Amino acid sequence: MSHPDLDAEQSYIDTAYDCLAAMRDRTAYTAELEGMAAEAVDGMIAQAHLRHRLASLDTDVAGLSFGRLDEERGDTWYVGRRHVEDARGDPVVVDWRADVAIPFYRATAVDALGLSRRRRFMMTGRRLDDLFDEVFDDPDSVDAAHHGGIPDPLLAELERGRTGEMRDIVATIAAEQDEVIRAPLDTCLVVQGGPGTGKTAVGLHRAAFLLYEHRRQLDVQGVLVIGPNPIFLRYIAQVLPSLGETAARQTTLDRLLAGTAYRVRGQDSERGAAVKGDARQAAVIAAAVAGARRPPDEDVAVATAWGGVRVAAPDLADLVKEVAARDVPHNVGRAAFRRQADRLVRAALVRRRGDEIVPAEELASDLRANREWSRALDRAWPALTAANVVRRLVTNRAALATAAHGVLGRDEQAAMLRRPTSRVADEPWTAADLALLDEAEAAIGGPPRSYGHIVVDEAQDLSAMGLRALARRSPDASMTVLGDLAQATAAGAQVSWDAAITHLGAPPVARRADLDLGYRVPASIMDMANTLLAEAAPDVTPCRSVRAGGQEPEFVAVDGDAAVVAEAGRIATGLAGVYGTVGLVIPPDLRPGLGTVPAEVTVLDPPDAKGLEFDAVVVVEPAAIAGGDARGLRLLYVALTRAVQELVVVHSLPLPGALAGAAGAPSRPAA
């Protein structure tokens, strides 16, 4: 039996869509007029703002309003994905980010926050399917699990099949997630969250909230979203646009640091990548840049149109020391050093010529044309590029030993080195080199472009040098750092959030939030995966799932590599006939033996599965993924926690100890 208010609420939502369409029409008309007159700079700026607003008024948005708040004092508010107003300017739907919407996410039976009723809408597109009421003077109705046989909206969303893209969670944000989302802008907020806790969605919704709350500032300064890989970026690509936000830049750290200047063509050993990612590399880079400055040992003779001058070597050495003490970027200091050196020449000429004043500008021009003087100054304070500095460190044993003396051990230095190429343009840069290059660019030319706020996901896998690169782009330390230490698998990954905050520059306003309630992965899978944590990540609190029960993970034992790959492909193909999305996580050395699988099956190396979720997942050869150490077990933990409905594990090798105890006997017969 449908709710008695269903038709009335559907009528209201239809009206809200009509009002949104009218708002879009008005904005489009204004944009057209501004476009006709947009000759002046101010007009073009106004036109850009109107285009942005027009993009945010997409009338095809599904679930425009997802709830209603009835306040004790009598006011009623409809909460939704967009602000919608009528022709008089009165609110029809309030944006979920507005303060008035906070009780939608945080009101409880203990503290109703001034509400008499919270009504949740269950919608498909523009159609209202049912209502779910929580009446705050009737405790039995608050947090009830069902209404009229229709599941609670949150549980219904959790049970919904995956589409291959992350959806927004704006209608189902939990109270602890809302507190993270609405944290102040001037905060470096570290969010520790296990699989399925929604930390990625929380980070994206936080970006949307800050863009709403600080529109003027962040439209200018920008918001940067960093994901772990391109697959992940495609997965999250539609979340911010679905919330009406298109201004944030979404990229990976490698793409950000490489830009158009560097091409990653090489690969470090795991040891080499870890050493290159170590925070001590900042001191090595600084020493390499400082070591390039070499004051002359002998006086420098300078011929000018006003006579010859001999500049004393100690004077130039003192000048190098004085400018270096200013702690400015190398090339900025170089320009200052050359100006000051020219003044030494002029001062000597003025002393010799008595009261006659040597024209400063004419002398400066004369000195610029003086090759001997320019060569002497270049030797004392040369022009540098990041590529040449880092290239010398990773290909020249003596140069690295000098710069890393007292900082890195010999074995660490050896792990960094590779054979030189004939040209810098041919250098096979590695991913770990990019953070070194960024450090060198900052030391030489100054900090890069900064952003008003940075959201970085899977931050546990960033090296200390990677975190330093992000900190340079956030001078106000306004960051949302998302991750799970139990999923730290990269070389040089973080072992504690306190250490990560230190690498981010120890910002004055930094705090940590923990999300330990999982919403995506069912308890049957989560509890099994958690058995790995005692060995894989003993300091991490296991995540609890709100989805009690769930289909038990299935284990299939076969004989030999060929059989395990064939069986995994067969099972994944079968699951593709049942579910919309299927992930097949397989070690790289087994992947060549995999035959053709349906398009619904995404085949992934274990590290690339991070941050993704699928209806069903097939994990191949857990022992090969685990590899016998804590890092490998964390990688296996990642693979096992990607499924939101069904998990099948196929293996021929014995299962890792903790997993073997959880698995019991194989539960699915092999073909």
Is residue 355 a part of any domain in this protein? yes
Does residue 163 surpass a pLDDT of 70? no
Is residue 397 a part of any domain in this protein? no
Same domain, 9 and 156: yes
User: Positive or negative, the Cα torsion across 388, 390, 395, 397?
Assistant: positive
Does residue 27 surpass a pLDDT of 60? yes
Residue that terminates a domain, selected from 353, 380, 407: 380
Task: Specify the number of domains making up the chain.
Answer: 3
Confidence at residue 292, expressed as pLDDT on a 0 to 100 scale:
96
pTM of the model: 0.87
d(CA 599, CA 62): 27
- Spatial neighbors of 628 by CB under 8 A, at least 6 apart, are none
Is residue 405 a part of any domain in this protein? no
Average pLDDT over residues 587-613: 93
* Percent of residues, the chain, with pLDDT higher than 90: 73
Q: What is the CATH number of the domain that holds 634?
A: 3.40.50.300
Q: Mind listing the pLDDT tens digit for each residue in 167-182?
A: 778 888 889 999 999 9
Does residue 490 surpass a pLDDT of 70? yes
Lowest mean pLDDT among 25-34, 154-163, 178-187, 255-264: 154-163
Q: Mind listing the pLDDT tens digit for each residue in 301-325?
A: 999 988 899 999 999 999 999 999 9
User: Positive or negative, the Cα torsion across 250, 254, 257, 261?
Assistant: negative
Does residue 280 surpass a pLDDT of 90? yes
Q: Mind listing the pLDDT tens digit for each residue in 428-451?
A: 999 999 999 999 999 999 999 999
- Spatial neighbors of 100 by CB under 8 A, at least 6 apart, are 69, 77, 94
Q: Mind listing the pLDDT tens digit for each residue in 337-373?
A: 999 999 999 998 888 876 567 788 899 899 999 999 9
Task: Please count the residues of the chain.
Answer: 671
Does residue 664 surpass a pLDDT of 70? no
Average pLDDT over residues 146-163: 52
Residue that terminates a domain, selected from 334, 357, 380: 380
Query: Which domain, by its residues, includes 633?
Result: 523-663
The tokens for 63 are 């679930």
Is residue 606 a part of any domain in this protein? yes
The string of DSSP codes covering 268-326 is --HHHHHHHTSTTHHHHHHHHHHHT----SS-EEEEETTEEEEE-HHHHHHHHHHHHTT
Cite the DSSP H helix spans in 325-381: 330-353, 360-368, 371-380
């790995």: which residue's tokens? 532
Is residue 416 a part of any domain in this protein? no
Confidence at residue 237, expressed as pLDDT on a 0 to 100 scale:
86
Is residue 432 a part of any domain in this protein? no
Q: Mind listing the pLDDT tens digit for each residue in 531-545?
A: 999 999 999 999 999
**Antiparallel, parallel or unpaired: β 453-456 and 223-227:** parallel
Confidence at residue 56, expressed as pLDDT on a 0 to 100 scale:
60
The more confident residue out of 361 and 273 is 273
Confidence at residue 628, expressed as pLDDT on a 0 to 100 scale:
83
**Greatest distance between any 2 Cα atoms in the chain:** 106
Residue that terminates a domain, selected from 356, 380, 404: 380
**Antiparallel, parallel or unpaired: β 115-124 and 127-135:** antiparallel
Confidence at residue 598, expressed as pLDDT on a 0 to 100 scale:
94
The angle subtended at Cα 269 by Cα 265 and Cα 272, nearest 5°, is 100
Confidence at residue 665, expressed as pLDDT on a 0 to 100 scale:
46
Confidence at residue 158, expressed as pLDDT on a 0 to 100 scale:
58
Does residue 1 surpass a pLDDT of 50? yes
Confidence at residue 630, expressed as pLDDT on a 0 to 100 scale:
92
Confidence at residue 151, expressed as pLDDT on a 0 to 100 scale:
41
pLDDT band for position 148 (50/70/90)? Answer: very low
**Antiparallel, parallel or unpaired: β 453-456 and 307-311:** unpaired
Is residue 466 a part of any domain in this protein? no
d(CA 59, CA 55): 10
Confidence at residue 141, expressed as pLDDT on a 0 to 100 scale:
63
- Spatial neighbors of 116 by CB under 8 A, at least 6 apart, are 70, 71, 72, 135, 136, 137
How many other CB atoms sit within 10 Å of the CB of residue 385?
A: 16
SS3 of residue 135 by DSSP: strand
Is residue 177 a part of any domain in this protein? no
**Cβ contact 376:337 at 8 Å:** no
HSE, CB side, 13 Å, CA atoms: give it for residue 263.
Answer: 6
Mean of per-residue pLDDT scores for the chain = 89
Confidence at residue 149, expressed as pLDDT on a 0 to 100 scale:
37
